[in-house]
Amino acid sequence: MNDVAGKTLGGRYRVDALIGRGGMADVYRGVDVVLDRAVAIKVLTERDDGERDRFLREARSMARLNHRNIVAVYDAGRDGPFSYIVMELVEGRTFSAVPPNELTVHVAIRHYIEMLEALAYAHANDVVHRDVKPTNVMVLPSGAVKVMDFGLARRTSDMSAANSAGDIAGTIAYLSPERFLGKPADARSDLYSVGVMLYETFTGTVPFKSETNDLVAVIFAHVNDPPAAPHAVNRNVPPQVERIIVRLLEKEPDRRYQSAEDVVAELRALVTGPVEPADPALHQTTPARTSPTSDSARLARDAAESSARAVLARTFKRSRAVDVGYSETLAGMLATRKGDYDEASRAYRAALAAFAEAKNELEAAKTALKFATMVLQKTNEGESQGRIPNRRELSDAVDILSDALPTFRGRALLKELEEGERLLYTLQRTLIRTR
C-alpha cells in the first residue's frame, strides 16, 4: 500500500514517524491536530475484508476498555485505502526489553500484579486478549505497566470451537494448549500465557521451545509435556512463585486459576509478606541470564534470541493456510500416538495440502517425514497382526517423502535428510516385498 507517513487521516490525525511493525498493521507516531496532542496511529497493512473486519473488531474491543493499565483507544476509521486506529502514545519499553538487572523479585511481581489487574478488567468486560506476551506489555519510565495490542481479542460471547479451530494465531511460545486443539479460548487462556511469561522471567527461558525451531514440536509440548520445574532451571526461584507458575501452566483450564483476580491476590500476599530468597535482583539468580559470558558468547546468545524472536514474528504473519497446516499436523501426531491411523492419514494429508497452498516447503517437508513415519509404523503393526499392507498408501508415502528430501538437502538439514533417506529406503523395500 502507499506510504501513509506525512498524510493527515480523517482530516485530523497527522501521521509522522514509523515506530513499530506488526503482523497486520504498522504503528506511527502522530498528532491529533484538533486537540494538539501526541498519539499513536495504527494503520492496517492488509486489505482483504477479513483483516479489515478483525482490525475494526480490535478497535471496538479496545475502545470499551478504560483502565490505567491498558493502552487507551481514542478513535478509529477509514480514509481512502487506509484503515486506522488512534491510540494513546505510550513511551517506555516492552517487558522483553527490560534488562534483568533492573528487576528484583518484588519489582517483577508488582509488574505482574498490574498486568493481571488489566486483564481482570478486560475479562470483566467480556474481552479476552488472546495474545499476551512480553512484547505486548509496556513498562513506562515511572514503572507503571500498560497492556497493549488487543489485536487478537474477541468478545467472550463470540467465541466457539468452530471459529477458533484452525485459527491458531499469535505467538506459539505463549499460547495455551486449548488454542492448538481448536477449543474455545477464555480468560484462563490468557492466564496460561501469563504463566509462560512468569516462567521466563524467573528462569530466563520459556517452558517449551525447540532448538531447531520445529514449531510443531513446540505445539506438541504445550499440549502433552509437563514443563521442567522452575527450580530445576533456576534453583533460586522462590517456592511461593513456583507454585503460582505451575498452577498457571496446567494443561486443563479447569485446573488453573479461574480468574486473574485470584492470581493477583496470591501475588499481593508475596509482596506484603516474606519471599525467599530475600528480593535479590533476578539477573543474579537466573543462570540463563547471569552466568559469566565472554563478549563472543554474549553476542552469540543475543543473536540466538534475535533469531528466535524473528521466527516468532514470522509465525505471527503466517497465512491462515499455514495455521491450518500446524493444527492438522498436530492432529496427525496425536492420532498416530493413539493408533488411529485413518485419522492420522487424513490429518497429515490436510496439513500437506495447507502447506502447499501457503508455499511453505520446509513445513511441508517436515510433515511429509511425519506422514511417512506414520505409514511405516501402521504397516509394521498391521503385518504383525496378519493384515495386508496398503500398497497405495505405501506408494504415496514414498512419493511424498521423495519430494521432501530436496528441501532438506537444499537447506543443509542433515539430520532430517539422513532420517528421510533411511525411511525412504525402508519404505521402498517394504513396497517391493509386498508385491
Quote the CA–CA distance of 434 and 9 in Å, as a whole number: 69
Residues in the chain: 435
Active site residue 340: no
Q: pLDDT, tens digit, for every residue of 294-350?
A: 566 556 555 544 443 443 334 334 446 776 787 788 788 888 888 899 999 999 999
Q: Choose between 427 and 276: higher pLDDT.
A: 427
CATH code, 8-88: 3.30.200.20
Q: Provide the residue ranges of all domains of the chain, joining segments of one domain with +.
A: 8-88, 93-316, 320-433
CATH number of this structure's domain 93-316:
1.10.510.10
Amino acid letter for position 257: Y
Q: Grid coordinates standing for 285?
A: 539468580
Percentage of the residues of the chain whose pLDDT score is greater than 70: 82
Q: pLDDT tens digits, residue range 73-110? A: 998 888 888 889 999 999 899 998 888 778 888 889 99
Say which of 32, 131, 149, 323 is annotated catalytic.
131
Q: Which has the higher per-residue pLDDT, 254 or 271?
A: 254
Q: For residue 388, with 0-12 CB atoms within 10 Å meaning exposed, 13-18 middle and 19 or more buried, which class applies?
A: exposed
- pLDDT tens for each residue of 218-243: 888 898 899 999 999 988 888 999 99
**Cα 276 to Cα 281: distance, rounded to the nearest angstrom:** 12
Comparing 56-60, 96-100, 143-147, 217-221, which segment has the lowest mean pLDDT?
Answer: 56-60
Work out the number of other CB atoms within 10 angstroms of the CB of residue 142. Answer: 7
Domain 320-433 architecture: Alpha Horseshoe (1.25)
Position 194 confidence tier, pLDDT thresholds 50, 70, 90: very high
Q: Name which of 289, 269, 288, 270 is nearest 278 in CA terms.
A: 270
DSSP letter for each residue of 46-108: --SHHHHHHHHHHHHHHHT---TTB--EEEEEEETTEEEEEEE---SEEGGGS-GGG-BHHHH
* pLDDT, mean over the chain: 82
- All three cell numbers of 173: 511460545
